[in-house]
Copies of this chain bind each other. A is one copy, B any other.
Amino acid sequence: MSMSMAKNTRACCLLLLRLLALAATVTAAIVMGTSHEITTFFNIKLEAKFQYTPAFVFFLIVNAVGGVYTLLVLFIPRFNNSVSSFIILMDLVVTMFLVSAISAAGAVSQVGKKGNEHAGWLPICGQTPEFCDHVMGALISAFVGVLIYFVLLLHTIYSNIFSPLLT
C-alpha cells in the first residue's frame, strides 16, 4: 500500500513537471513569436522582428516542437521497454535542442544588447527596448523549460540505474 502510494506520488510529480515544461516552452515560443517593434530613430524607421534573425526563428521552432512533443508524451502509454526507451531518447534530443536554441538566441541577443565595437556592430536594444524585453522573457521561459527537462533526464537515468525496473 505504501509502495503504491509512493509510486503514485512520483507519477504525479513527473506529470506536473511535464506540464510545467509544456507551459514554459509554449510560453517561450509565444513570447518570441509576438516580439515585434517599430520605432523611429532620427526619422529612420527601424523595425525589429524575430523573423530577421535566424537564431530567433530556430528558437521559436524548437520551443514550439518541444511543446508539442511534451504534450504528446503525456498521452503515450508506456506499455513496453521500446516505447520507454524511445521517450528517453526523445527527452535527451529535445533537451539538447532546447539548450542549443537558448544559447544561439542568447548569443545574438547579447550582441543586440552590448553590440560588438570591434566588428562595428552597434547595440540595438536602446532603440527597440520592447523587442529586447520580449526576447529576454522568451529566453527566461525557455530556460525554465530546459531546467525541468534536465531534472526529468536525471530522474530517468538514476531511477533506471538504481532500480532497473522502468517507471
Contact = CB atoms under 8 A, between A and B. Distances in A.
A11 interface: no
B162 A81 contact: yes
**How many chain copies?**
2
Contact of A108 (B49, B95, B108): B108
A76 interface: no
A71 interface: no
Nearest to A49: B118
The 4 tightest CB contacts between A and B, nearest first, are A164-B164, A104-B107, A103-B103, A52-B118
Interface residues of A, number: 46
Interface stretch (A14-22, A28-36, A85-93, A133-141): A85-93
Contact of A103 (B92, B95, B104): B104
Contacts of A120: 121-122, 124
A69 interface: no
